[in-house]
Amino acid sequence: MPNFVYKQEKLLQAFKNLKDLYSKIPETEGCLEHINLLPGSNGNCGGFCCSIQYCQLLYCEFLHIWDEILKKWESDEVVELIEAALRNYFNNTPIKGCILFNKEDKKCKIYDFRPLSCYCYGITPDGEFNNRLKMLKEKHSEWSAFFREQCKYLKCNNVVTKEMLDEWWCELSNIEKSIGIEEKYINDDMEGTYRAFHDHLLLYLLPIQQFENLSHVKEHGTIEEKEQIIFAITNIFKKTFEKIKNVP
């Protein structure tokens, strides 16, 4: 992802525009009524989607979520999130789960300011979603059993069309461009800004050289080396937050 400097006033306007965009998406129901029960119990899901899969989001959405987290979370929670991001990054399988999903109470930790992809999950037209699902299964054939169709319990009073999805994505892309991201980077390529939250977080927090070292260990490091790095980095941020707390 490219390095760039954004202006604070543009970022605040982008956050407002994101909220306006999310407000246009039809409300849904059915998720919370089924998510708390164990899979297979009366046909419930137990949060399968968020505990196995993870969403992708643009950089402006990540910054919006990160801003809310820093305002509302305790420092210990933030450190735990950083540790979870490192563990997800070092996981070389496509089965990672979302680090913003609380597996104990089956609730999203950022539900009120979740990204567009989460809003659209369950209400995307089946043809559109199933095409993506097919490509995902072909790309990770050995893990295909873990990739499912959209949640059948989630209901929406409005019919969502592909044209509506395209319109929302276009609006989201314009918000991304408004903070200084060039259009050529608004994709899920290696250098793109459409990526997992855990990737965004590590790219945001770590110097580029340190992130490159992480990438090397991800591919070639032992379990012990990965654990050492996770401990070292989380300990640095823990001490940093403690210092901030102790400032008069």
Q: Is the pLDDT of residue 243 over 90?
A: no
Q: Quick check: is 238 in a domain?
A: no
Question: What domain range includes position 162?
Answer: 8-81+93-198
Which has more confidence, 77 or 136? 77
Check the CA dihedral 68-70-76-80 and report its sign: positive
Residue range 25-36: mean pLDDT, rounded? 79
What are the tokens at 15?
């956050």
Q: How far is CA 240 from CA 70, 83, 148, 187, 237, in A?
A: 14, 15, 41, 33, 5
Any alpha helices (H) in 124-222, and if so which ranges? 126-139, 162-178, 197-205, 208-220
Report how many domains make up the chain: 1
**How confident is the model over 82-117, as pLDDT tens digits?**
999 999 999 988 888 899 998 888 888 999 999 999
What confidence tier does 5 reach under pLDDT thresholds 50, 70, 90? low
Q: Quick check: is 216 in a domain?
A: no
Residue 58 exposed, middle or buried by CB count within 10 Å (0-12, 13-18, 19+) = buried
Q: Quick check: is 158 in a domain?
A: yes
Question: What pTM was estimated for this model as a whole?
Answer: 0.89
Q: Quick check: is 182 in a domain?
A: yes
Residue 192 near residue 1, CB atoms below 8 Å: yes
**How confident is the model over 33-79, as pLDDT tens digits?**
777 655 555 556 667 788 888 889 999 999 999 999 999 999 999 99
| Backbone dihedral angles phi then psi of residue 196, each to the nearest 5 degrees | -70, 155
Residue range 215-230: mean pLDDT, rounded? 95
| Backbone dihedral angles phi then psi of residue 29, each to the nearest 5 degrees | -145, 160
Q: Quick check: is 227 in a domain?
A: no
Residue 158 near residue 25, CB atoms below 8 Å: no
Short-list 183, 151, 47, 68, CA closest to 114: 68
Q: Quick check: is 2 in a domain?
A: no
Q: Quick check: is 122 in a domain?
A: yes
Q: Quick check: is 243 in a domain?
A: no
* Number of other CB atoms surrounding residue 183 within 10 Å: 10
Q: Is the pLDDT of residue 200 over 80?
A: yes
